Structure 1
Amino acid sequence: MFTAKWNKQFVIKILIVLAVFILTIFFTGLSDSSNSICKNIFKNIRGEVLPDTNIVLITISGNDIAQLGGWPLKRSYYALLINELNKYGVKKIGIEVFFSGSNSIQTMYDHLLISQINAAAPVILSSVPGNMFIKNNFYASDVIEFPSLKERDSSLVTGHLGFLEKGIIPLRVNGERSFSAQVAGSEGVNELKVNITSSWKSFHQYELLEFFSLVKESSPGLQQLHGKIILIGVSDEKYTKKLSSSFDASLPGIAFHAFAVSNLLQRNGHDESLFSFSILFHLLLLVFLLFLFEKRTLLRTYLITAVFTFVLSIEFIFFGFLNYELHFASFFLPFLSLFILDIFFSVLERNLLFETTISEAEALKHLLAKKEHEFVELIKKSDSSSLKEKENLKEKIELLQKEIARQEKQEQNELPYSPKADEKVNENFCGILYRSKVMREVVSFIIKAAPTNETVLILGESGTGKELVAKALHQNSKRKDAPFIAVNCGALSETLLESELFGHVKGAFTGAAADKMGRFEAADKGTIFLDEIGETSENFQVKLLRILQIGEFEKVGSAKTFRVDVRIIAATNKKLDQLVKEKKFREDLFYRLNVFPIQLPPLRERKEDIPAIVEGIISQNSLLTGLSKAAMEILLQHNWRGNVRELESALKRAFVFANAEQRTVLQLADLPEELIKEKRLHYEELVLDALRQKQFSHSAFSEIAAELEVNRTLISENFRGCCFKLLVKNNFDLEETINEIAATDDGKVLEKVRAKLETLLSNIREDAVKTNSNDFKTVKQKLQSKYKNLPKKFHPYLDEVIKHYLT
């Protein structure tokens, strides 16, 4: 079944990825927009690449046009501009303005303009092609419109301003070279795909009136125009075609042609020679990734990430630095669809597994209900039987009780554990996992003590996480970038401990063949953690005290004094104050260490942290998704004398067993035998859970009784007893009891529970008042009907409710 499903999913992935790949090839709108997004991202990551610094722009702005009498400008201004530029010895002038047919006013300036053009450095005028198309592998146009000035002087040099979609400029159309090719003096190839490498503001530029003003002032800065290529054009959006780029939302035509000139001069236009090859390369990569996505190994994620990063890096280099045009959409869109499909099928499989688990749990629950029914019938039969018959039934009842308990355990063992809505959120501070208030206070203390250089003494039983606290103190201190050295003092003899901590010189003792650096020296400027400090000798304590006082020590076998700057964090599972009284630990050292004491509570005193710790440890195992409710309940019940270390060891053992069985959820069978104990059946919990599912409706009691095949009274009395029990537990706080019974925020459900609870309590209160007595025994005797059908385990709780109303 699973193999067939796997093959079906694989075929679906292949078909969808192939469909997306084909769409990116044949639907140009989709591929163009996707390619454009990728290009913009890559260009912004790479940053701007400055255009050729020999290009200078003189732009005609909206203000220039307004100041000089409107558009079109008189040609005398162009003549004056060319004349002034010629004085500065510019190399070439390109006028990206089309001079259309002259009117009578303009005609009088045509001869002046032509004379200035002929007298100046090479000047390129603009021509305009009509509809462009490819004919015999060359670009052609139905017509090319030349400037009116060329009718008067055919020797004037022109270049066409035409360009196609995607920023492609045909370098020749009907034999007419492009404006950019004429300015750059480049024959080039058939076409140029313009590569806009920066904001157009990066060109050195002047506005027209600004330039005339600088000329009038004889600005020395204009001397830099010598030998430069000057491009003249309109920058106002009203009078030029508006374009855009990765760096500019608005790009005037003059800027577009300026980048084209720069591309031709620097030979950095977009190269499309690898465009088709990139499509084939992407197809092969996608085939490889399709098979890689189906692998269910630990390396799967790393391999996919590595391949994706490799492709991303290669394409970034080829596009961003080598200027190759690539078909990005043919890889990234199919890869995205493959990634989404993988997530979708993973979620689908998890849901199917969950639904299967729930179905199995329902079957177990129904079986459990039948056993309960048999149990109740035996109890009833026992109540009405003779003494001899009771003895015969006793064995059957005990056997059925055990079977019910096992069945309940199995039911809980099949359901995955998940935290309740009202449970506290797991918190993680530098690897310290917790939920409890006491650990929150510990973390708060760590945050306060960490920035200081004072000594910290961590107290707590073995396995409570003292080294984790020490690391947290280091990581949140000013010394976090310096070494953190941990030493277990209890694991070494006095001689070895001194050698380990202080170091030794060659020949200090037998076997000391070379000088050795000690842990204190290695931890200089950082933190040293001395675990089990209570196990050290008095001689060692003296030396440690000296380091604490003045930061000095001598290596074993040496008289030379070394100085270090180290923060000391000590820890012990012993009561140092008691050891001081017994003269087994130096009092002065104790006070030096005890500047910031941190008391870590044992795990058995903060069991609410267990789910956080368990979930944190399980998350480190990629093959597991969680554990069953029964397993979590066992973990919560255990006393954990070995604290977190014991819990971690138990879970590691469980990982091995669960992995061997190829299960993703830890179950009771995976836990050590000493943890697993028989669990008692709590019938009222099953009843309460069923009522919650039916939202405490009016017919809920009858429906549940029918489903469990039991008497309605049994259901209602278990609910009544549960209400009394929770009311006493919550110290007669009505609102808290209602919330616990309902286990929801639904206002309607809360009101139903409130009505039922108030009815139960008002009946008791009214009947107690009717007795006209404050004596509990007397009242209880008169209220025996309240106890009649109530299970005996709830009788003590009803006693407390009656006493509460009597007082």
Structure 2
Amino acid sequence: MSKRLLIPGGCLVAVGLMLVLLAGPIQGLEERVLTSRYAIRGEIQADTNLVILYFDNDDIASLGGWPLTRNYYALLIDVLTRSRVVAVGFDILFGEHNLQFPEHDNLLALTTAASGKVVLSSYFRVLPSESSPQNSPDVRISFLPSLPGSRSGTGLQLPFTELASAASGIGHANLVDGAMGAVPLFVRSGPGAVPFFGLEVLRVALGVDRDEVRVEGGKMSLARSQALYQIPFDEHGTSLLNFPGPISVFKRYRCIEVLRSYELQRMGLNPTLDLTSLEGKIILVGVIGEGRSIVVQSPFDRRFPSIGVQATFLDNALTGRFLSAPGSIVSIPLSLLLVGFALWLFGRLRFLTSFTITAFMLLVYGVVTQWTFVSWGIVLPLAGPVLSFLLFATGAVLYEYGMVRKTVGRLETDKQKAESELRARELKLQALERELLDRRSRAGGESRPGDLEEIQRYKEEIRTLSARVSDLVKFEPIAENDTGGGVFEGMVYQASGRMKETVELIQKISTSDANVLVLGESGTGKELVAQAIHHLSPRGKRQFVTVNCGALTETLLESELFGHEKGSFTGAVKDKMGRFEFADGGTIFLDEIAETSEAFQVKLLRVVQSGEFERVGSTMTLKVDARIIAATNKSLKDLVQEKRFREDLYYRLNVFSVQLPALRERKADIPLLAQHFVTLEDPSFAISSTVLDAYLQYPWPGNVRELQGSIKRAAILAKSEKRSLIQLKDLSEEIISSLKGQVDIEDQILELLRNKKFSRSSISETAEELGGLNRGTVAEYFRGICFKYFFESVWDKELTIAGIAGNQNGEANERVMKKLSEYVGNVVEGVQQGRSLEDVKPSLKAKYKNLPQRYHTILDEVIRAYLDGKWR
């Protein structure tokens, strides 16, 4: 198996093994989920053809205590038979003769035989979970001789012989242990099978003979007249009940109330219960009392009377709402399918996106399972798929964490290797420069041939290695106390940069309805400005309509803006509204307005002036109220002078003018824009310091749009190599070459500072001259330059000052000396000499913050030299 398929295959195997090995616990969880489904669904109406009659503890006490004499049961059967019920099922076992009152046993048997509608209950002492052959004696009540897969029971407890012979049917009342709502529809006993008690009651109520019951295709069918009642069962002969609610949802009466009502009715008095309401009903008789009745757990009640189980079975049979549970046949394939789909997503999308989509699909599946449960009684598995997803998600998180650790470790190793080479080159350069200075200081000393060339070669190598180190370190934006950045209507900018005035102007003019002309190079964000003006205006909740005037011919543009009538030209098969009509009450943005012809400008002038126009092919004048925002990347003033743009239209459009600076003129915004676009691609991504240097050097002819495209390209390439750090190799050759083809930013900054004699305002002025670079960036570069010259001058401050200031006068040297003393003094403030760099470096992290990465190894040497006592 290829390595690419090994991990997905391993995941699927692990999930499959989990589902098989944890089948029992998962089934327990499925039952808990089923209980939750009932809670969400709530109670539903039980079938009204079913009535429960019961004895409670008070009734039993009033009738002489337990066990009740059997003449009461005989009387109850007689009353119910006279009330024309269709069946009477006793969920009470009459197992032994009553030796004290044998006449009552005879009376009960005679009444039962005379009724012809009584069904009695029985039970098996042992009901194995699996089918096994038994040698139990055949009994008269068994039927359905061919039921493969059904359970076999032993120790069948029947009513006493005379009563059993008088009954119209006998069924077992056993339930499946450990499975809520599961009932064995039939249990094998000898050559035949004993039906479930509720099933036998239903058969008697419908008047169906045993040989008329049909079993095929996993369903038992009972037919009466035009009605067909079907009871589904699984391969073990088990049916799954759908509980309508607690016992209270069934129509219930106390048995003693029935008997009293009968007596009152015989005496000509008004009964408390109208016995005629029982006509045509199925009656279940049982005991509901604490300590007297068998209770089981249901989704609605932890102590659900067993007679409620029989009532639930009959309700399901009459309404056709038994549950159907596919079980492991569906659970395992569905879980594997879910994990397989998640694996497919994780291989194509970001981790968080894939996780979110899969979790959402699982949530939708959960809603679907609730819907199928409520609507059709289909119990789709949920615990298995959820556990599979959680197992996979845990594995995916650990795998992603491992991959990140591996990538970070590789980058850290590369960084340490590059830093080690860089330090070796810097120390060698320091030694060469010291040697050269020593020779020159001797009387008549001269430098050897090639010394200067070797020093220059080492400086180039140091510069290359420094770039390599920076390319392995994430860029951290410089934070300034007095300024900050922000996002305004989708526009990212530095608060102290050139966009600040533009943003303030947009805020001022947005509240009016005056026309606006947006000027700027292609890719500077003119449409964003138009949208911002619209959103902030009173028209912000109305339509914003965009039209690119340069993308259409004059004829098509006229039809697009003003609309046309049917038949006005070839292809005009119906009337069409123009963009001005769509923009009525809102704003219309006319991009590339300079590309329109003079003839079209005349037509446009009219609608700009009065809001009136005619559709193409129509003589009816329409009027709209739309604010017009136009944009162009050309100078309309020059076009007006060249007679290529109408002067009157220009002044109509140019009520307010918003001039957007090119990206090369607002370099302070580049770090913020880059970070913004990187976050849009993937919040976990970042750019290296070298990438930012390249972005700052590049002239950006395509402006912000080109920067966004560059980051999208770089993010795709980095993602393909499982990296979260965008490096120089991810950029286009054109951008990379900007680093090679231009003067290094360090040299530019130092040259400008020298020209300004390191004055108080020189940092700010230098930042402005470098295209609006962040003032903090320039200050940090100068701090690094000071450390670099201090290192190369072998800790000689006078040589350092001379090297930084160049051929300057005493005033410039004093300013450099002041800054140098401030910078190096601040670095070692509070640091005790005699300790190692490794001991003190953790406490000096703030000294490295914001310092360009290229100077970090030099700062290490500055601190190490101080600790070794080489400078004070």
TM norm. shorter chain > 0.5: yes
In 1, distance between residues paired with 2:67 and 2:796? 102
Partner amino acid, structure 2, of 1:160: H
**In the TM superposition, what whole-angstrom CA distance separates every residue of 1:753-785 from its partner, at most 9, and x where no partner exists?**
999xxxxxxxxxxxxxxxxxxxxxxxxxxxxxx
Structure 2 gaps, min length 5: 134-148, 214-219, 221-232, 265-269, 641-645, 748-786, 802-814, 831-839, 848-864, 867-871
Structure 1 residues 27 and 573: alpha-carbon distance in aligned structure 2, compared to 1, 3 A threshold: closer
Partner amino acid, structure 1, of 2:409: E
> 1:195 maps to which residue?
241
Of 395, 401, 415, the match for 1:361: 415
SS of match in other structure, 2:200: helix
> 1:184 maps to which residue?
202
Partner amino acid, structure 2, of 1:411: V
1:170 lines up with 2:184 in the alignment: yes
Equivalent positions of 1:497-508 (< 5 A) are 497-505=557-565
Q: Provide the TM-score with structure 1 as the length reference.
A: 0.63
> 1:775 maps to which residue?
none
Of 392, 396, 399, the match for 1:345: 399
The number of equivalent residue pairs is 700
In 1, distance between residues paired with 2:718 and 2:550? 35
**Structure 1 stretch displaced more, 213-222 or 23-32:** 213-222
Partner amino acid, structure 2, of 1:127: S
Partner amino acid, structure 1, of 2:604: F
Structure 1 residues 152 and 508: alpha-carbon distance in aligned structure 2, compared to 1, 3 A threshold: closer
Note if contact 1:128-1:145 (Cα within 8 Å) is conserved in structure 2: yes
Structure 1 residues 511 and 243: alpha-carbon distance in aligned structure 2, compared to 1, 3 A threshold: closer
1:401 lines up with 2:396 in the alignment: no
**In the TM superposition, what whole-angstrom CA distance separates every residue of 1:479-502 from its partner, at most 9, and x where no partner exists?**
999975311346667765433211
Structure 1 residues 31 and 448: alpha-carbon distance in aligned structure 2, compared to 1, 3 A threshold: farther
In 2, distance between residues paired with 1:420 and 1:474? 33
> 2:546 maps to which residue?
486
Structure 1 residues 517 and 433: alpha-carbon distance in aligned structure 2, compared to 1, 3 A threshold: same
**In the TM superposition, what whole-angstrom CA distance separates every residue of 1:576-597 from its partner, at most 9, and x where no partner exists?**
99999x9645777777xx7xx9
> 2:317 maps to which residue?
264
Partner amino acid, structure 1, of 2:607: K
In 2, distance between residues paired with 1:751 and 1:327? 56
Of 706, 727, 731, the match for 1:646: 706
> 2:155 maps to which residue?
143
In 2, distance between residues paired with 1:87 and 1:436? 94
In 2, distance between residues paired with 1:291 and 1:586? 58
Structure 1 residues 283 and 661: alpha-carbon distance in aligned structure 2, compared to 1, 3 A threshold: closer
> 1:554 maps to which residue?
614
Q: Higher Cα Rg: structure 1 or 2? A: 2
In 1, distance between residues paired with 2:500 and 2:248? 55
Q: CA deviation at 1:728?
A: 8.2
Note if contact 1:13-1:338 (Cα within 8 Å) is conserved in structure 2: no
SS of match in other structure, 1:529: strand
Equivalent positions of 1:461-472 (< 5 A) are 461-462=520-521, 463-468=523-528
Structure 1 gaps, min length 5: 683-703, 739-747, 756-788, 791-797, 799-807
Partner amino acid, structure 1, of 2:19: T
Partner amino acid, structure 2, of 1:155: A
Note if contact 2:418-2:469 (Cα within 8 Å) is conserved in structure 1: yes
Structure 1 residues 223 and 483: alpha-carbon distance in aligned structure 2, compared to 1, 3 A threshold: farther
1:25 lines up with 2:79 in the alignment: no
SS of match in other structure, 2:24: helix
In 2, distance between residues paired with 1:449 and 1:125? 90
SS of match in other structure, 1:196: coil
Partner amino acid, structure 1, of 2:618: S
The CA RMSD over aligned residues, in Å, is 6.7
Q: CA deviation at 1:370?
A: 1.8
SS of match in other structure, 1:356: helix
1:160 lines up with 2:172 in the alignment: yes
> 1:370 maps to which residue?
424
Note if contact 2:57-2:290 (Cα within 8 Å) is conserved in structure 1: no
SS of match in other structure, 1:143: strand
In 2, distance between residues paired with 1:323 and 1:606? 65
Q: CA deviation at 1:80?
A: 8.4
Partner amino acid, structure 2, of 1:177: P
Partner amino acid, structure 2, of 1:131: V
Equivalent positions of 1:238-277 (< 5 A) are 243-244=296-297, 251-266=304-319, 268-270=321-323, 277=329
**In the TM superposition, what whole-angstrom CA distance separates every residue of 1:257-316 from its partner, at most 9, and x where no partner exists?**
3332234345554557x66754785698599779958966999969x9699889969995
Q: CA deviation at 1:722?
A: 12
Structure 1 residues 221 and 652: alpha-carbon distance in aligned structure 2, compared to 1, 3 A threshold: farther
SS of match in other structure, 1:369: helix
Note if contact 2:561-2:580 (Cα within 8 Å) is conserved in structure 1: yes
> 1:518 maps to which residue?
578
SS of match in other structure, 2:251: strand
> 2:752 maps to which residue?
none
In 2, distance between residues paired with 1:125 and 1:363? 89
SS of match in other structure, 1:163: coil
Structure 1 residues 381 and 348: alpha-carbon distance in aligned structure 2, compared to 1, 3 A threshold: same
**In the TM superposition, what whole-angstrom CA distance separates every residue of 1:454-509 from its partner, at most 9, and x where no partner exists?**
78958564434343465678899999999753113466677654332112336757
Of 447, 468, 482, the match for 1:410: 468
In 2, distance between residues paired with 1:91 and 1:472? 78
Note if contact 1:55-1:231 (Cα within 8 Å) is conserved in structure 2: no
In 2, distance between residues paired with 1:356 and 1:458? 52
**In the TM superposition, what whole-angstrom CA distance separates every residue of 1:297-346 from its partner, at most 9, and x where no partner exists?**
999969x9699889969995998877677777776655654454344333
Note if contact 1:98-1:127 (Cα within 8 Å) is conserved in structure 2: yes
Of 126, 135, 141, the match for 1:131: 126
Note if contact 2:434-2:794 (Cα within 8 Å) is conserved in structure 1: no
Partner amino acid, structure 2, of 1:358: E
Q: CA deviation at 1:647?
A: 1.4
SS of match in other structure, 1:520: helix
Q: CA deviation at 1:162?
A: 0.9
> 1:805 maps to which residue?
none
Structure 1 residues 601 and 90: alpha-carbon distance in aligned structure 2, compared to 1, 3 A threshold: farther
> 2:604 maps to which residue?
540
Q: CA deviation at 1:630?
A: 1.2
Partner amino acid, structure 1, of 2:183: I
SS of match in other structure, 1:386: helix
Q: CA deviation at 1:633?
A: 3.7
Structure 1 residues 653 and 104: alpha-carbon distance in aligned structure 2, compared to 1, 3 A threshold: closer
Structure 1 residues 528 and 508: alpha-carbon distance in aligned structure 2, compared to 1, 3 A threshold: same
Q: CA deviation at 1:364?
A: 0.6
> 2:694 maps to which residue?
634
Q: CA deviation at 1:524?
A: 6.7
Q: CA deviation at 1:354?
A: 1.6
Partner amino acid, structure 2, of 1:32: Q
Structure 1 residues 645 and 25: alpha-carbon distance in aligned structure 2, compared to 1, 3 A threshold: closer
In 2, distance between residues paired with 1:195 and 1:531? 68
SS of match in other structure, 2:471: helix
Equivalent positions of 1:730-749 (< 5 A) are none
Structure 1 residues 201 and 127: alpha-carbon distance in aligned structure 2, compared to 1, 3 A threshold: closer
**In the TM superposition, what whole-angstrom CA distance separates every residue of 1:490-540 from its partner, at most 9, and x where no partner exists?**
666776543321123367579978755422345578764334568884652
User: Percent sequence identity over matched residues?
Assistant: 28
Structure 1 residues 107 and 15: alpha-carbon distance in aligned structure 2, compared to 1, 3 A threshold: farther
SS of match in other structure, 1:414: coil
In 1, distance between residues paired with 2:458 and 2:695? 26
In 1, distance between residues paired with 2:83 and 2:361? 54
SS of match in other structure, 1:559: coil
In 2, distance between residues paired with 1:98 and 1:428? 80
**In the TM superposition, what whole-angstrom CA distance separates every residue of 1:23-46 from its partner, at most 9, and x where no partner exists?**
53355423423544665677789x
Equivalent positions of 1:28-43 (< 5 A) are 28-36=23-31
Partner amino acid, structure 1, of 2:238: L
SS of match in other structure, 1:404: helix
